[in-house]
Structure 1
Amino acid sequence: MKSSSAHALPEGFIPVMLTPFSDSGAVDYKGLARLTDYYMQAGSAGLFANCLSSEMYELTDQERLAITKQVVDQTNGQIPVVATGTLGGTIAQQADFVKKIYDTGVQAVIVITSQIAQENESDAIFIERMHELMNLTPDIPLGFYECPVPYKRLINTSILAELLPSKRLIYHKDTCLDETEVKRRLAVAQGYNFGLYDAYMVNAVSSLRAGAAGLSCIQGNIYPELIVWICKYFNDASKQEAVEKVQQFFTDSMEVVHSAYPTIAKYSLQKRGFPISTYTRRKIDPLTQDLKEKMDDLLITIDNLHNDLGIKPVYQPVFA
């Protein structure tokens, strides 16, 4: 096991990575290599592998480790990688997999908050089990993901105040959807190498202005260049009109990007000329013709925004 390196993650966009599959359902490792390159070329500050967008619950342990190891090896230290390490079982079993994920070379292992305590269990139990997990995984940098599956367990400021002094927590994928709560969390995290990365794009600019380290959202699998742009220019006085325009676009496109996800993200990549199958292991709503047409329209809007902002995307939309 490599030694601990609980340094802060870089500011900016950390995408939640997709897993490409072949049409037969096998992991497409060559496609994963292309996708990793794409995220990096788009300007990502880091990568979140083996997450919900990666269909982590539908992967085997061997696939989870292989996917994470490939991404770490490919990035080769250019940008940091984090990956999920808690996917169910006893705390001891989860601690064992945390160690295995960390041994792939990730900078931090992400804890799915709803895997530590059941929905009807108290915050005190959650804190007790987190201390147990930390004791079983000494010196491993950790992060939180308020994942909606199996249920969403939010990490309030009292929990953060209890656990941050360990200096083990460096990443938080925030899904509280509440800009006031985000500010409270950032306030209690002052002085720690703890980065809050908001997943809720309606609050993208407000969270960044409040001090969030960046964004970690599914939209980055559809228009990553715009997420990178907003992380760079959200506070640029000369670009505030454009910032407001992009923020409004994020808000307006919420419904479409969340429909039939992650299939719709893979479809959007196809339409941008990226070679990927739309095969998805997760059981989700179908990608209907109506949704395809809405995504086609959205891609035209994205292309127009790119032109307006002077962004040269890695892949251009391709329409028959």
Structure 2
Amino acid sequence: MSASISTLDRHSGVWPVMLTPFRDNLEIDWRSLERLIDWYIASGVHGLFANCQSSEMFFLSDKESIELTRFIVAYADGRVPVVASGHTADSCSQQVEQLHAIADTGVESAILISNRLATADQPDETALENLQRLTEAIPEVALGVYECPYPYKRLLTDATISWCAKSGRYTFIKDTCCNEETIKRRLQLVAGTPLHLLNANAQTLLGSLKAGGHGYSGVMANFHPALYVWLVENWQAQPEKAEMLAEILTVSALSEYLDYPVSAKDYHRQIGTFESRICRSRPIGSFDDLHFPTTIAQMQSLSARCKTLIGL
């Protein structure tokens, strides 16, 4: 028997990092966004990570950031919980304003970005001090941390993860370390606390689930979320199929490097979710889409075959 959404912990499962559809004039395409949310939910996801790097949050104004998050929370309408970031500013005072505003949209958790906690040349101790300062300044909403790779990647230290876990304020880490041994150590640090670790890396996902990980929050859920939902819900009950599916998803995830998020938006244009593949982060002419049609067709075929294999 699979673990349904009713039996999974509220902060576990598959949480896609949401795309933001834009019109040709670079304004947000709200109708396409509605279709995207419906598509995620119809695929069985357990939550949505809005206003993140995949959402091109660094290319949104603060006003757009709040409008986007508020819209997603309202349209999801309790069907699944929503977490969101929008934590892009450099100064601490503006970061506090951003996170207050996100918290006020009704999200399940407001997500801090690890590389906003200190500059690349500052020590980890500074990052922890700034995280503690922000935690005190944000109202009593649940919090999370995302190890966002842009503009640089700052991985969380054991000391930071331990502090977050023991604080009782943190529920969500989007882990991008891509290392099974590190993930195992982190899971020991958060054991017995409200803090959940969701892996962004397809290659280490099954191993992290076996070690007690809480789910998946990565870009490939923008292509075939139902397959990740099946893996997270059924890896214990059907281990042989889970191993096979995990190997296929590992290879498939290499397409992440094919001019993402343009490739993901092109996929959604082809399946009818989006009107356009326009990105603010990748201007037209800045990417090579030579292999998009072949790769996307293969992705659709792969998803269909995998669903047949696992009985979806």
User: Taking structure 2 as the reference length, what is the TM-score of the superposition?
Assistant: 0.93
Secondary structure of the 1:253 match is helix
Q: Percent identity, please.
A: 33
- Kept after mapping to 2: 8 A contact 1:197/1:216: yes
Aligned length: 302
What's 1:286 paired with?
287
Q: Which amino acid aligns with 1:271?
A: Q
- After superposition, what is the alpha-carbon deviation per residue over 1:286-307, rounded to whole angstroms, capped at 9, x for unaligned? 2422232122223212211112
Which runs of 5 or more residues in structure 1 are unaligned?
A: 1-7, 312-320
Given that 1:256 and 1:295 are in contact with CA atoms closer than 8 Å, whether structure 2 keeps it comes out as no
**Helix, strand or coil at the partner of 2:307:** helix
3-state SS in 1 of match to 2:44: coil
8 Å contact kept, 1:145–1:172:
yes
Which residue of structure 2 aligns with residue 249 of structure 1?
248
- The one-letter amino acid of 1:247's match is A
Partner of residue 224, structure 1: 225
Residue 21 of structure 1 corresponds to: 22
Q: Does 1:180 align with 2:181?
A: yes
Cα separation, 2, equivalents of 1:181 and 1:201 = 15
Deviation at 1:186, TM superposition (A): 0.7
RMSD over equivalenced CA pairs, Å: 1.5
Aligned to 2:136: 135
1:69 aligns with 2:70: yes
SS at match of 2:134: helix
The answer as to whether partners of 1:264 and 1:287 remain within 8 angstroms in 2 is no
2:47 alignment partner in structure 1: 46
Provide the rounded CA distance (Å) in 1 between the counterparts of 2:139 and 2:102. Answer: 14
CA deviation vs aligned residue, 1:242-270 (integer Å, no higher than 9, x gap): 11121111111222233110111111123
Q: Distance in 2 between matches of 1:109 and 1:75?
A: 17
Provide the rounded CA distance (Å) in 1 between the counterparts of 2:220 and 2:242. 16
Report the Cα distance in structure 1 between the residues aligned to 2:273 and 2:87, rounded to whole angstroms.
31
Moved more, 89-98 or 210-219: 89-98
User: What secondary structure does 1:289 align onto?
Assistant: coil
TM-score, normalization by structure 1:
0.90
Counterpart CA distance in 2 for 1:85 and 1:174 is: 17
CA distance in 2, matches of 1:124, 1:131: 11
Residues 129-162 of structure 1 deviation map (CA, whole Å, 9 limit, x = unaligned): 1111112114221101000011000012121123
Secondary structure of 2:279 counterpart: coil
In structure 2, what residue type is equivalent to 1:195? Answer: H
CA distance in 1, matches of 2:142, 2:178: 25
Q: Give the conservation status (yes or no) of the 8 Å contact 1:256–1:291.
A: no
2: CA distance, partners of 1:89 / 1:275: 32
Could you say if the C-alpha distance between residues 244 and 114 of structure 1 is closer, same or farther in structure 2, counting changes exceeding 3 Å? same
Aligned partners of 1:92 and 1:133 also within 8 Å: no
Query: Any conservation in 1 of the 2:124–2:157 contact (CA below 8 Å)?
Result: no
Task: Map residues 1-320 of structure 1 onto 2, 5 A cutoff.
Answer: 9-236=10-237, 239-283=238-282, 286-311=287-312
Equivalent AA in structure 1 for residue 220 of structure 2? Q
Amino acid at match of 1:276: E
CA distance in 2, matches of 1:276, 1:177: 33
Alpha-carbon separation, structure 2, partners of 1:288 and 1:74 = 32
